[in-house]
Amino acid sequence: MKVLFTHSWFMKYDPKQWQIMEPYPPLATISAAAVLREHGHSVKLHDVMFEDNPDSIIPVLKEWQPDILVVCDDGFNYLTKMCLTNMREAAWQMAAYGKEHGCKVIFSSSDATDHTTSYLDHEIDFIVIGEVEQTLYELVNFLQQPTGQLQNIKGIAWKENDMVQKTAPRPVMQNLDQLPIPAWDLIDMQRYKETWLSRHGYFSINCSTTRGCPFKCNWCAKPIYGNRYNARSPQHVIAELSYLQRTYGFDKIWFCDDIFGLKPNWVREFASLVKKEGLRFRFKIQSRADLLLNDEQIKPLAEAGCEIVWIGAESGSQRILDAMDKGTTVAQIEKATSLLKEHGIKPAFFLQFGYPGEKMSDIRQTLDMLAALKPAEIGISVSYPLPGTRFYENVKEQLRQKSNWTDSDDLHLMFQNTYQPAFYKMLHRHVHNLFRVLRTKERIAGHWKEKKLLDASFYGQLARLPFYSLKSKRSAARLKKLTILTK
C-alpha cells in the first residue's frame, strides 16, 4: 500500500511559535511511518511545519496518488496536546483533499481522540485511539486485504450507518525497543538545521526515551500514552543518537518525554554510554521537583550533558499545588532548584495561573518564589481544561461558548474563576515582563560584582531587592490595570 503521512502542526498558524522559531520534526509521525515501511508498505511524508496552508498537500496527492492518507500528529510535543482550533481546521481541510483524491483517511491525534464524533463527521474514515504504531499497522493491512473482522482491531473508531463505532482500547506497548528508529530520512533535516542555525546559532533535535506518565495531576490530559510509564533501554536510545549525530550533526537535544529518566539507574547507565560512545551534546528535559532532591539523581544528568531541566512548578502556593493533586511541595521546588544550580544545570519553571480558587495571595506567592529562586527560564500558561481530566469534568458545563484555544498564545480562561479572563491574559504578560527585569538585574549585579565597580555592600542591597520593585513604567501600568480587573 502507498501511505502518505502528514500532521497538522502548521507553525505559521501559531504566531507565537512562528516568532520563537524552534521547529522540531513530527516525531510520532515518522515513528509510525518507520513501522509501516519495515513491514513492506511504501511511505512518504508531507511535512507541513513550514507550509503556508493545507493546500500544500494537493500537489503531493496528485503526483504520488497514495492509497491512504494518515494525519498523525506528534503526541510527544506538548503543543499538539493543546488541541488548537487553527490546527484542527487545517487537519480537516487536508482530510477533505485526501478524500477528493480517492484516499482512505486515518487520523491519530490527541484532538481526534477527544473529539471523535466531530472528526468522523468530516468524512474521516478511521481514528486511531491510543498509541498509533501497532494499531495503524493492523488497520492498513486490513484495508489492503479485508480478512477477519474490523471489530477485532483494538483502538480504532469509525462510522457505520451514521453511528460511531469503537473497539476495545489497545494496551500500551511495554517493550519500546522493538520499534524501529523513526524514519528521520523522510524529513528535510537540512531545512530544520538551517533554520536553527540562522535563528539560534545551534541545531537542536527532538528525541523520546519514554511514553506515558504515572503521576496524576488532575489537569493533565494523556489521551495517547496514558498513565502507564514505559522506557526504551539506554542502548536503544544511544543507537538512535549515534545515528543522528553521524548523519545530521546536531548540537542539542530536547528529550520530549513527560518525565525523563524515571526508572532507577536509567540516567546513570545513559550517562555512561554517552561517555563510552564519545557523544557530545547538550540537552534539556522535563521533570518534577520531587525527582530531583539529591545528588545521586542530578549528578548523572550533569555528566550526560544536561543543560536545562524544566520543572512543573505550577505555583508558589502550596494550597494551589494541593488542589491540583500535584504531589509536590514548594519546599521541594526550592531544594531541587538549588541542587540543579550546584551541578551547573539551569532550572526552568512551568507556571500555571488561573486554577479554580486561585486568589491574589496565591499569585503573590508565585511571584515571591520566582524572585527567591531565580530560574533561568519560565513558561507561563493559564489553566486549560482538556477532556479526560478531573479538572475538565469540574468545569465542562461552563465551556459551551469556547472549549479550545485558537493558538498557543490564546490563553483565554474559559470557565468562571476569581477574576475576569482579561486579568489572566494581562497577568501572563506582566509576569514575563517582571521576569525580564529580574534577569537583567541579576546580570547587572553579577557584572558589577565581578568587575568590582561597586562595593560588596551595594551588591548585597541590590541582590536582595524583590524583582517586582524594579518595574518599568509599562509594568507599573499593567499592574494598575490588573488591580482594576480584580475588583
**Residue 160 is placed in which grid cell?**
457505520
Its pTM stands at 0.90
Helix or strand (DSSP H, E) at 36 = helix 27-38
- Residue 262: the pLDDT is 92
Class of the 202-418 domain? alpha beta
- Residue 446: the pLDDT is 60
Looking at the structure, give the CATH architecture of the domain made up of residues 2-166: 3-Layer(aba) Sandwich (3.40)
* Residues sharing a CB contact under 8 Å with residue 112, sequence separation 6 or more, in sequence order: 91, 119, 124, 127
Nearest alpha-carbon partner for 301 in 333, 350, 340: 340
- Residue 478: the pLDDT is 56
- Residue 274: the pLDDT is 97
- Residue 276: the pLDDT is 96
**415-424: long-range contacts at Cβ-Cβ below 8 A with a sequence spacing of 24 or more?**
415/356, 415/385, 417/354, 417/356, 417/357, 417/358, 417/383, 418/357, 418/358, 418/359, 418/486, 419/485, 419/486, 420/485, 422/485, 423/482, 423/485, 423/486, 424/353, 424/354, 424/382
- Residue 89: the pLDDT is 96
**Residue 236 is placed in which grid cell?**
536503544
DSSP annotation of 101 reads T
- Residue 454: the pLDDT is 43
- Residue 435: the pLDDT is 87
- Residue 449: the pLDDT is 53
Order of strands, sheet of 204-207, starting from the edge strand that comes earlier in the sequence:
204-207, 252-255, 282-287, 306-314, 346-353, 377-382
- Residue 447: the pLDDT is 54
**Which residue type occupies 268?**
R
Q: In tens digits, what is the pLDDT along the chain, a chain of 487 residues?
A: 999 999 999 999 999 999 999 999 999 999 999 999 999 999 999 999 999 999 999 999 999 999 999 999 999 998 888 889 999 999 999 999 999 999 999 999 999 999 999 999 998 999 999 999 999 999 999 999 988 789 999 999 999 999 999 999 999 999 999 999 999 999 999 999 999 999 999 999 999 999 999 999 999 988 888 888 999 999 999 999 999 999 999 999 999 999 999 998 999 999 999 999 999 999 999 999 999 999 999 999 999 999 999 999 999 999 999 999 999 999 999 999 999 999 999 999 999 999 999 999 999 999 999 989 999 999 999 999 988 899 999 998 888 778 898 988 888 888 888 888 888 888 888 888 888 887 877 776 665 555 544 444 443 444 444 444 444 455 555 555 555 555 4
- Residue 438: the pLDDT is 79
Question: What distances in angstroms separate CA 370 from CA 96, 243, 298, 328, one per listed residue?
Answer: 47, 40, 21, 17
Q: Which residue ranges make up each domain of the chain? A: 2-166, 202-418
